């Protein structure tokens, strides 16, 4: 397999010089081809995601397909503008020159995708890479194997392998790919694997985009609409059975509101994901595999053994790999459940006595991929925003910031580096090349030797 991968990589290295010459019209046609191929494969996609994650047709349509279609449409609409060289300002020392930024493709790019949104999270960077004029090798996750097979079929039937190729397989395939000197690597997954990817990229001085995760907090103060906050957090936490990188990982709440919030949260979860008192498996997903299922069970058991209170549910069904929505209170901040990303339908709740205490708690952890603020008091909103750091932030909602292609999406430090979506994704897969067109009237000769010390005073005033 390594020889096959190297062969395709070499083909793309040769072809990248032809791709860099393509104009917006040609790239737009490729994006249209991709969208058409996805539309033609919708039934296969619905079936694959139901098998992999027990996603309903509605959830697959909204979070995987429609999201991808919207991103393609946005790129088609904006690409000609993105590709145009951008003029920038002059400086006094080079007053007559014309200065521009050109956007050129990085070359041959590797996209490694995760299993939790296995279609959206491979197609989103692919759209940006195509828009920027790159060759691409895709590596879908082997854990969502049914979706990976559909993706491979779509790519192989739509694009020549010298332009876009897809390799399925386990960590051995990823390892083989990471040995190659790609021009850019885009990785979505855990922080631990992100560090491995970055270390491998460093050997070839390959640029990287890392879309990671972490513990994204939701801070709730005493001015918000608590019922609405609970409903939104329940949806954001439990969609895809909690297997969402920007899901609210835990809640920090004013101590006077905890009991009321839990009742609202339970009510909202039951309304959305239960039927006649039982989990409705037609709308509630399953845990991806046995390893993740057991990891989540162990997190619950360990937290309870460490003094946490099981406030709601904790019910599990090993046969269907279903973990019911679970609420834990009185959680020890040093417990593993508060030290690693949960990535499941378990919600720890931590009380605070004043807002500064909540802010200090967030700042005591690694910087999260997302931070959610529920407050109707603008001073509290601004205080939290100004005193914390996160990849993205939503005020009085969850998850929705990812859906606007006019906003950058990405992490910071342990939650990632680099941004994607819209023009931010286009730039991520482009090299911003500085180009100066010097005028015949250019005055740079004045600074050539032999030096005129009298000129120095004039230049100091000028500059």
Separation in Å, CA 162 to CA 7, 72, 111, 459: 10, 22, 15, 53
Q: How far apart are CA 154 and CA 41, in angstroms?
A: 8
Q: Are 154 and 33 in contact (CB under 8 A)?
A: no
Sequence-separated (6 or more) residues with CB below 8 Å from residue 426: 75, 79, 82, 103, 128, 131, 132
Sequence-separated (6 or more) residues with CB below 8 Å from residue 150: 41, 44, 45, 48, 119
Q: Is 311 helix (H, G, I), strand (E, B) or coil?
A: strand
| CA dihedral of residues 128, 133, 136, 138 (deg, nearest 10) | 20
Catalytic site residue from 224, 245, 394, 420: 245
Among residues 214, 221, 233, the alpha carbon closest in space to that of 382 is found at: 221
Q: Alpha helices of 61-101 — where are they, by DSSP H? A: 67-83
Report CA torsion sign: 191, 192, 197, 202. positive
Q: How far apart are CA 99 and CA 91, in angstroms?
A: 10
For residue 211, indicate whether it is catalytic. Answer: yes
Catalytic site residue from 50, 64, 211, 341: 211
Six token digits for residue 189: 């997954």
Adjacent-strand bridge partners of 348:
328
For residue 166, indicate whether it is catalytic. Answer: no
Q: How far apart are CA 346 and CA 324, in angstroms?
A: 8
Q: How far apart are CA 66 and CA 47, in angstroms?
A: 16
Q: How many Cα atoms sit within 13 Å of 184 on the Cβ side?
A: 28
Q: Are 2 and 105 in contact (CB under 8 A)?
A: no
Active-site residue set: 211, 245
């Amino acid at each position: 397999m390594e020889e096959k991968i190297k062969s395709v990589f070499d083909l793309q290295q040769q072809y990248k010089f032809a791709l860099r010459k393509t104009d917006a019209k040609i790239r737009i046609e490729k994006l249209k081809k991709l969208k058409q191929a996805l539309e033609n494969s919708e039934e296969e996609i619905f079936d694959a995601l139901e098998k992999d994650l027990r996603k309903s047709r509605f959830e697959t349509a909204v979070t995987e397909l429609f999201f991808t279609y919207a991103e393609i449409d946005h790129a088609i609409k904006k690409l000609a503008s993105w590709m145009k060289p951008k003029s920038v300002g002059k400086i006094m020392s080079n007053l007559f020159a014309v200065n521009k930024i050109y956007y050129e493709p990085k070359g041959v790019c590797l996209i490694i995708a995760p299993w939790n949104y296995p279609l959206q999270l491979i197609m989103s960077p692919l759209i940006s890479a195509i828009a920027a004029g790159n060759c691409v090798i895709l590596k879908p996750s082997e854990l969502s194997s049914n979706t990976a097979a559909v993706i491979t079929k779509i790519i192989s039937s739509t694009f020549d392998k010298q332009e876009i190729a897809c390799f399925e397989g386990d960590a051995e395939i990823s390892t083989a790919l990471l040995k190659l000197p790609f021009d850019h690597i885009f990785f979505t997954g855990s922080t631990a694997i992100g560090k491995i990817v970055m270390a491998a990229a460093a050997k070839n001085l390959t640029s990287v985009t890392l879309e990671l995760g972490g513990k994204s907090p939701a801070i709730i103060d005493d001015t918000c609409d608590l019922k609405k906050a609970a409903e939104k957090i329940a949806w954001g936490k439990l969609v895809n059975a909690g297997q969402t990188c920007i899901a609210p990982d835990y809640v920090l709440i004013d101590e006077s509101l905890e009991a009321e919030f839990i009742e609202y949260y339970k009510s909202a979860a039951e309304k959305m994901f239960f039927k006649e008192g039982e989990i409705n498996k037609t709308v509630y997903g399953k845990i991806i595999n046995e390893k993740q299922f057991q990891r989540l069970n162990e997190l619950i058991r360990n937290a309870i053994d460490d003094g946490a209170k099981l406030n709601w549910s904790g019910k599990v069904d090993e046969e269907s790999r279903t973990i019911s929505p679970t609420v834990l209170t009185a959680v020890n901040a040093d417990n593993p459940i508060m030290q690693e990303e949960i990535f499941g339908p378990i919600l720890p709740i931590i009380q605070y006595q004043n807002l500064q205490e909540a802010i200090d708690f967030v700042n005591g952890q690694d910087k999260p991929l997302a931070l959610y603020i529920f407050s109707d008091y603008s001073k509290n909103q601004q205080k939290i925003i100004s005193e914390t750091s996160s990849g993205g932030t939503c005020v009085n909602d969850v998850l929705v910031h990812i859906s606007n292609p006019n906003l950058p999406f990405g992490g910071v430090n342990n939650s990632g580096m680099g941004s994607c979506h819209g023009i931010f994704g286009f730039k991520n897969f482009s090299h911003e090349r500085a180009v100066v067109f010097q005028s015949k009237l250019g005055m740079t000769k004045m600074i050539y030797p032999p030096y005129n010390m009298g000129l120095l005073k004039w230049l100091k005033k000028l500059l």
